[in-house]
Amino acid sequence: MNHKIIIPYRSPGLHPGDLRRLGGIHLHVDGGGDHAFVRHILGELEKFGAKGKTTAISLSVEGPQRRDEPLTYASHTPGTANGEQFDYFLTSSLENRADALRTLGIVLPQIADRGDIVVEVEQVIATFERSAGRSDWRRFAGTSPTPIRSYEVGFNKGETLAFEIHHAIDFPSRGVPSFSVQKLLEETVPMGLRVGGWFSFVKPEGIWSFRSNAFTEGKNLEAEVRAQSDLLCDYLSSNSDTFEAFRLWTIVECVLGIWHTPLSRVAKEADETAI
């Protein structure tokens, strides 16, 4: 678990929810503990019209799915098995897949020889939220996501399960929350919720945010998301004194590509067959 100073930044004109719109593609750069570098990359992307935000993780705790899927988490986690670094990350908008390739052409060469940096491109394929006793599952109805192949960007990408599920819990900030992500993890794992981790941070508008991550192959995706959300909703409702006026929502992303530094270049003779 870690505790960091919160230094948020949001591009002018970027509105809440813009980066998680259904069908939207975005870029993550997880910079370990190097906030200055993360902010530099976002500044470079803003020159080309991208909008994004940086987020500082205030607390984090590892979940049991990390042991179940070591290859996936090795690709997605800055640092090493002996010392994870996940303190600052940016999320930046992408117009489409072609824009993703162009942006990766800018970012990947800058980080190729650095340590402890993860770059990821994802597309939002589904969202789920409960409101006033009703539930709302929305699935992107457009063209199916097309993964980015290593030869398209010149660097070998990492192994990963295809889909990432993020559960989000937002509730009013009144200083330091009395309830930690550690307790949330410890009390929901026995109930059957196996995530890769829980993370917390404060949004600029004064909202405490808890976020989980977990990966899946995508079989029976809607049923999986609903079952997990049911579990969380029951748990949060039973702790209503702590999670007063909470909002629970879920976003599902398709991982189009993941790169963990230091990067290896695609061999010319393997260009057309690289994954």
Q: What is the pLDDT of residues 90-146, one digit of tens each?
A: 999 999 999 999 999 999 999 999 988 999 999 999 999 987 678 999 999 988 999
- Residue 3: the pLDDT is 43
- Residue 2: the pLDDT is 46
- Residue 130: the pLDDT is 84
Q: What is the pTM of this model?
A: 0.90
- Residue 161: the pLDDT is 98
Dump strand ranges (E) for 31-94: 52-56, 59-62, 79-80, 83-84, 88-94
Residue 22 · residue 55 · CB < 8 Å: no
Q: Helix-strand-coil percent breakdown of the chain, rounded to 5? A: 30, 35, 40
- Residue 164: the pLDDT is 98
First to last CA, the chain: 34
Which parts of the chain sit beneath pLDDT 70?
A: 1-7, 32-33, 79-86, 132, 175-178, 204-205, 242-244, 268-275
- What is the average pLDDT score of the chain? 88
